[in-house]
Chain A
Amino acid sequence: MTTLSDPPKGGFRVSMLINDTRYRSYTFQFIALIALIAAFAYLGSNLIANLKAAGLNISYRFLGEPAGYDINQRLIEYTSQSTHMRAAVVGMLNTLLVAVVACFFATVIGVIVGVLRLSNNWLVNKLMGVYVEIFRNVPVLIWILIIMAVFVAVLPQPREFRGDDATASMVFGSFAFTGRGFYFPKPVFGPGSLFVVLTFAASLVGIWGYRRYAKQQLFDHGRMVSTLWPSIGLFFVPVIAMFFIMGQPITLDYPALKGFNFQGGIYARNSFIALTFALSIYTAAFIAENVRAGILAISTGQTEAAASLGLRPGRIMNLVILPQALRVIIPPLISQYLNITKNSSLAIAVGYMDVTGTLGGITLNQTGRAIETVLLLMAFYLVISLSISAVMNVYNNSVKLKER
């Protein structure tokens, strides 16, 4: 029989904080923490003392005062009499709009380019390689400026649509592509249009349910149910039927040249398009590389095995490769989304009024409240970035390898 001797108990001595390896690391971490807090406290008090000496005080009262300036792109009601706070919110929404749209396009372009770059077709393969290298290796600010400059210089201005000797005309009488931006017809929802919208939503739910059912059939009974045509049918038929039943409640408001500019319809400003486009194609180059890396990380044995089971190449990609590749692709994709959001603050280069342009630009300049506005800006970008990370991490967890 062996006696297990317990480690000597009791008798904690202060010297153990240094000599005992079990405590030593805590001791040093604690000291470091105290030092860090002290350093921050010193810097903070120094800041406050210096601000006081310079006659400045930290105050957010300016947020309640009228802003006094106008903003061209407003997603919510705003006039020059609105407060600085509201101007900041208008800017935040503009930032989010660019970020969301650019993330969407960057992902679509990035996935397509990344997959095509692995194509066996020499020309396609090389073209995609050139795309990636060109866009990845020139700073995004330069792309934004180039695209804006080309936009303004190449596309016709509203004055060229005017008069009898107009040199430019609208496309199909309903789209106008001008150097100031694009004008599209805008749907106008009349009475009764709610039913049409609800029908459409119901169709979408129906499509989702049907595809689930089809999958169930495949997994449980090994039966292949066609999904393409029923989905298309569900998508179009009920809505169109409802549209006519309700007496065509949704009409289109077409843009038309009135006075100095086109009026009516949806107006996408040149600054918005240039910024979104530049951010999308720039970031897509990075995403393409992530996608390529993700696909290459799946061993060719998987492709061969799937092929020997008789799967067609498209299905191999969709059913075997991509689901596994996503595990590799998602984490770097998160940082690309964060990059887009942060890079959108270059908006001011083309006069797009994002939050850096309103709160961090005009408000800062007109009120002189630099520290306050910069702190607010930092908080905003931090919250947005952390939210994107959180959402993407949830998605990442759902696609990551389930170990059984």
Chain B
Amino acid sequence: MKKSVFFGAMTVASLAAGVAAAGTLDDVKARGKLNCGVTTGLVGFAAPDANGEWQGFDVGVCRAIAAAVLGDPKAVEFVPTTGKTRFTALASGEIDVLARNTTWTFSRDVDLKFEFAGVNYYDGQGFMVPKALGVSSAKELDGATVCIQTGTTTELNLADFFRTNNISYEPVPIETNAEAQPLYLEGACDVYTTDASGLAATRAAFENPGDHVVLPEIISKEPLGPLVRHGDNEWGDVVRWTLNALIAAEEVGITSANIAELGAAAGNNPEINRILGTEGTLGEMLGLSADWAKNAIMAGGNYAEIFEKNIGENTPIGLSRGLNAQWTDGGLLYVPPFR
């Protein structure tokens, strides 16, 4: 037993090295499918619908990448990952890209050797409690039992928050969001804490969302975004600029309604022309076809469309754009120019 694990560890290590060196872009093209790591199920971000098709905000990123690289938004193999398994899955090459509410942190970038392609949701950690508890601030949570997902930034922030505020708590570690829900609803935990977006999504799935409140404190910065392995810059560029294309499309006004018309021939807005490949050779520089960004945007619409469809104000999750508005609207979304 001891030996076999050791051999296993060594083979994994040697495989990992093998994978990192190869070009992921070529691998994906040769495979004809993108392996995309997502959550095990968080409605609004990534969850299979009634027909077994994956839907959600993070799923939208996966589909856009598949469309940009392979021309087909359906050519995606979704790999559910937990907070604990996600990094191993990416490092070992089981997935090509991880789009799973993952916070961009120094140590994940530098020490775990991943490359964040950007931010698709600016978030922060919040707390949810049953209304019946009568709690109005996180500072009143002294002695509470708190459900947290292990392997996340959440558990580290939580430890810091309670320590600096000199209050105590009882952590209940759990693996997935699905496991946390019954524990929280049955009262085995007083509080559930995770990214505020995740709280909104979890709350929306409850039978009586009105019985639960999200406390006003946001205790951390959680820039969530897709990530790839260190050391494969070509693939990193593809993922980064696909995400940028979705955001830029909103900024310059490309939508799924007008994209067919705008992409048919070069118009008089040069940036739109360059994004949609009717002018310049941006696609070629990435090693993709000229209409890569057009395909990506057509997969599910621009950033705003993906947002509104999955987590926006007209969905049960009901998130407002807030920090995730374009810089022109007072938000943080600001993509470098396409030229």
Genuine A/B complex: yes
Residues 38-90 (chain A) with a chain B CB within 8 angstroms: 43-44, 46-47, 50-51, 53-56, 68-72, 79-81
Residues 133-178 (chain B) with a chain A CB within 8 angstroms: 133, 141-145, 150-151, 155-156, 158-160, 162-163, 169-175
A251 interface hit (Cβ, 8 Å): no
Contact B16 A261 (CB under 8 A): no
Residues 264-307 (chain A) with a chain B CB within 8 angstroms: 270-271
CB-nearest residue of chain A relative to B113? A55
B20 interface hit (Cβ, 8 Å): yes
B residues near A54, Cβ cutoff 8 Å: 13, 16-17, 20, 113
| A261-B17 contact, Cβ under 8 Å, with A152-B182, A374-B9 | no
Selecting from A23-31, A209-217, A362-370, the interface stretch reads: A362-370
| A81-B144 contact, Cβ under 8 Å, with A51-B13, A179-B186, A382-B2 | no
A residues near B144, Cβ cutoff 8 Å: 259-261
A residues near B231, Cβ cutoff 8 Å: 55
B112 interface hit (Cβ, 8 Å): yes
- B173 partner, pick from A50, A180, A351, beta carbons under 8 A: A351
Q: How many Å lie between the Cα of A296 and that of B20 in the bound state?
A: 60
Besides the contacts A179-B186, A378-B5, what 20 more A-B pairs have beta carbons closer than 8 Å? A46-B14, A50-B14, A53-B20, A54-B16, A54-B17, A54-B113, A55-B113, A149-B182, A152-B186, A157-B188, A179-B187, A263-B143, A270-B188, A353-B173, A361-B173, A362-B150, A365-B84, A368-B112, A371-B13, A375-B6
B10 interface hit (Cβ, 8 Å): yes
| A70-B88 contact, Cβ under 8 Å, with A157-B186, A259-B143, A260-B143 | no
A153 interface hit (Cβ, 8 Å): yes
> Which of B9, B113, B133, B170 gathers most chain A CB within 10 Å?
B170
Residues of B participating in the A interface, judged by any CB pair closer than 8 Å: 2, 5-7, 9-10, 13-14, 16-18, 20-21, 83-84, 87-88, 107, 111-113, 132-133, 141-145, 150-151, 155-156, 158-160, 162-163, 169-175, 182-183, 186-188, 190, 230-231
| A261-B143 contact, Cβ under 8 Å, with A80-B163, A351-B172 | yes
| A68-B186 contact, Cβ under 8 Å, with A261-B170, A366-B151 | no
- B169 partner, pick from A70, A153, A365, beta carbons under 8 A: A70
Kindly count the residue-residue contacts between A and B in the assembled complex, taking CB atoms under 8 Å apart. 134
Residues 111-165 (chain A) with a chain B CB within 8 angstroms: 149, 152-153, 157-160
Contact A81 B112 (CB under 8 A): no
Contact B143 A180 (CB under 8 A): no
Render A348-367 as a binary contact track against B, CB cut-off 8 A, 1 for contact: 10010100010001100111
Contact A348 B175 (CB under 8 A): yes
A258 interface hit (Cβ, 8 Å): yes
A residues near B183, Cβ cutoff 8 Å: 152
Q: How many Å lie between the Cα of A179 and that of B132 in the bound state?
A: 18
CB-nearest residue of chain A relative to B112? A368
Q: How many Å lie between the Cα of A378 and that of B18 in the bound state?
A: 26
A residues near B172, Cβ cutoff 8 Å: 72, 271, 351
CB-nearest residue of chain A relative to B17? A50
A residues near B88, Cβ cutoff 8 Å: 370
| A180-B10 contact, Cβ under 8 Å, with A69-B155, A152-B182, A382-B2 | no
A residues near B188, Cβ cutoff 8 Å: 152, 157, 179-180, 270
Q: How many Å lie between the Cα of A370 and that of B113 in the bound state?
A: 13
Contact B142 A259 (CB under 8 A): yes
| A43-B10 contact, Cβ under 8 Å, with A68-B156, A70-B171 | yes
Contact B111 A365 (CB under 8 A): no
Could you list 19 A-B pairs, sorted by A, with CB under 8 Å? A47-B9, A47-B13, A50-B14, A70-B169, A80-B163, A157-B186, A157-B188, A179-B186, A179-B188, A259-B143, A259-B144, A261-B143, A353-B173, A361-B84, A362-B150, A365-B87, A366-B156, A368-B107, A378-B5
Contact B17 A53 (CB under 8 A): yes
